[in-house]
Amino acid sequence: QMNRPAQAAAAAHTFFVANPGHQEMRQNLEYYQAMAGVREDDFTDLEAKPHLSEFRLGVRFYTEEQPAAAILHLEKALKEYFVADAECRALCEGPYDYEGYNYLEYNADLFQAITDHYMQVLSCKQGCVTELASQPGREKPFEDFLPSHFNYLQFAYYNNENYEKAIECAKTYLLFFPNDEVMNQNLAYYTAVLGENLAGPIQPREEIQAYRQRSLMEKELLFFSYDVFGIPFVDPDTWTPEEVIPKRLREKQKVERETAARISEEIGNLMKEIETLVEEKAKESADMSKFIREGGPLVYEGASVTMNSKTLNGSQRVVVDGVLSAEECRELQRLTNAAASAGDGYRGKTSPHTPSETFYGVTVLKALKLGQEGKVPLRSAYLYYNVTEKVRHMMESCSTLEKQEGRSDNSHEVHVDNCILNAEALVCVKEPPAYTFRDYSAILYLNGDFEGGAFYFTELDAKTETAEVQPQCGRAVGFSSGLENPHGVKAVTKGQRCAIALWFTLDPRHSERERVQADDLVKMLFSAEERDLLQQMEPEQEPPAAVTVGKDEL
């Protein structure tokens, strides 16, 4: 619009590199290519990372069997990598990020606060490995990115008949993977060609030795804090020696990996079966209750699927009834009335979604601690913990208000759980501050005795409603967290809406610290036999606690 086509071409190209499937931007690029005054070199990536650009060039020349050019660009890539690494690590040195914590409620003593902050900084620095290996448009970062430079270089130097450098790069690569059979064979060959007398004194690169030593020291501290303090850490490298990880933690991680793989496989199978049911009209009357018991994350005794993707006019959507009994719903509502506080879970924001409603919440960890202190029934807190089924993020929420006629706003505007919805452009951008790691979402309702508050799905325009679900006790709505499922909550015009919001991730790097602490607290409070017994017991019949509703509490 400002008649600056060259800058427009560069901006369009930059966006398209990160979003290669964006059809509208593809058309814009074709339009700019046909414009007079726009040159080919105007189509540049404005957000290109120098070390990645040099690395890609080096790999390209390597595959084209031009070893001299490959060496030039790969060595430049290494220099730029360490410049970017130093900058990334420096940016980690900042104030403590409270993440899901309300800083007013963070009451750690001096030593715990120092530990939390230092471990957060170290974890951030280790995360630079992933940050520097991530490329726009790629779903996953390059695996073993830094070591791979030396894999390419050792062979490029060999093809360039520079055996001293080939040996240096091979030995450097073996710092990370000492048991790599092929690289050991290459090293033996280079040594034989050059001669043992000349090859023996050649050492791995000093800067890589220092890098590896520093990284291992940081990992040892992080794994120790994970093992002792329960502060989660996911190693970004595959080359870390096993002895760095405490034995107890190794066994735990093995179980977690197996569980994650099993859940991922089950969810994949579940989604395939749902799509099959949608496509095959002959199976419309299939027994969905049997289907849900065969796998997937929403497995509860007595639960049954009452709506599937087809009846909800979308994909990867499901409504499950009977997740909780009526008495269990009442017990969790009593827990809410006794334990919830305004703004809990939204960093103290009492009206995070609409000024017409006040949000009350209680996290699982808080409920368990109150149960431990005798302020709420411990069995009720455990029921809350148990019903969430190992979720990563979870919160019980209530919207409380008097009768409100003529409201035009929603309780929660239409949004997508793992990307930023731009309804006008019909796109959803998967980048922070969105919770991009969320894979599946669910809402478990504890009541239905209020007016309004219906859950609904829309198209990407946030206006075209595709399905609506009325809340009721024990009903769960499950759906994938991506752009295929924009959703919102209509205004509650009278009464109190109580629900448990759940988000699931298959990425262990985003393990919720509060959940880890809640798991540890449950293990401390209950033996395995007690936990089994609590799951079998019926909730006690207690009179419901009164819910105080402020007259103009908006």
Q: What is the mean pLDDT of residues 336-344?
A: 63
Residue type, 55: F
User: Is the pLDDT reported for residue 399 higher than 60?
Assistant: no
CA 449 to chain centroid: 34
Q: Looking at per-residue confidence, does 468 or 291 come out higher?
A: 468
Q: Looking at per-residue confidence, does 423 or 79 come out higher?
A: 79
Contact between 308 and 317 under an 8 Å Cβ cutoff? The reply is: yes
DSSP at 446: S
H or E stretch at 469: strand 465-469
Q: Looking at per-residue confidence, does 289 or 325 come out higher?
A: 325
Omega before 147 cis (within 30°)? no
Task: Name residue 412's beta-bridge partners.
Answer: 489
Can you give the pLDDT at residue 487? 92
Encode 87-155 in three state secondary structure. Answer: HHHHHCCCCCCCCCCCCCCCCCCHHHHHHHHHHHHHHHHHHHHHHHCCCCCCCCCCCCHHHHHHHHHHH
DSSP at 444: E
Which segment, 21-35, 121-135, 529-543, is predicted with the most confidence on average?
A: 121-135
- Indicate the pLDDT class of residue 422, thresholds 50, 70 and 90: confident
User: Is the pLDDT reported for residue 409 higher than 70?
Assistant: no
User: Is the pLDDT reported for residue 6 higher than 80?
Assistant: yes
Please, what is the angle between helix 5-18 and helix 23-33, to 10°? 150
- Alpha-carbon distance of 392 to 511, in angstroms, equals 6
> Which residue has tokens 């791995």?
204
- Which residues, 6 or more positions from 234, have their beta carbon under 8 angstroms from its beta carbon? 508, 509, 511
Question: Model confidence over 149-160: pLDDT tens digits?
Answer: 999 999 999 999
- Indicate the pLDDT class of residue 542, thresholds 50, 70 and 90: very low
Q: What is the mean pLDDT of residues 71-89?
A: 95
- Which residues, 6 or more positions from 533, have their beta carbon under 8 angstroms from its beta carbon? none
Can you give the pLDDT at residue 300? 47
Question: Model confidence over 176-213: pLDDT tens digits?
Answer: 999 999 999 999 999 999 999 999 999 999 999 999 99
Can you give the pLDDT at residue 228? 87
- Which residues, 6 or more positions from 243, have their beta carbon under 8 angstroms from its beta carbon? none
Contact between 336 and 498 under an 8 Å Cβ cutoff? The reply is: yes
- Indicate the pLDDT class of residue 539, thresholds 50, 70 and 90: very low
Can you give the pLDDT at residue 27? 84
Q: Looking at per-residue confidence, does 251 or 533 come out higher?
A: 251
| Architecture label for domain 304-530 | Sandwich (2.60)
Can you give the pLDDT at residue 406? 56
Q: Is 189 buried (19+), middle (13-18) or exposed (0-12) by CB count in 10 A?
A: middle
User: Is the pLDDT reported for residue 501 higher than 60?
Assistant: yes
- Average pLDDT over the chain, rounded to whole? 78
Return the minimum-mean-pLDDT range out of 27-41, 229-243, 503-517.
503-517
Question: Model confidence over 303-314: pLDDT tens digits?
Answer: 677 888 788 888
- Indicate the pLDDT class of residue 101, thresholds 50, 70 and 90: low
User: Is the pLDDT reported for residue 250 higher than 90?
Assistant: no
- Which residues, 6 or more positions from 25, have their beta carbon under 8 angstroms from its beta carbon? 12, 15, 16, 19
Residues catalogued as catalytic: 497
CA 4 to chain centroid: 39
Q: Render the burial of 320-352: b for 16+ CB within 10 Å, e for the rest.
A: bbbbbeeebbbbbbbbbbebbebbbbbeeebbb
H or E stretch at 55: helix 50-63
Can you give the pLDDT at residue 540? 46
- Which residues, 6 or more positions from 339, have their beta carbon under 8 angstroms from its beta carbon? 362, 366, 367, 370, 375, 376
Contact between 212 and 175 under an 8 Å Cβ cutoff? The reply is: yes
CA angle (320 as vertex; 411, 393 as ends), nearest 5: 55
Can you give the pLDDT at residue 184? 94
Which segment, 108-122, 167-181, 243-257, 495-509, is predicted with the most confidence on average?
A: 167-181
Return the minimum-mean-pLDDT range out of 57-66, 470-479, 505-514.
505-514
Can you give the pLDDT at residue 396? 34
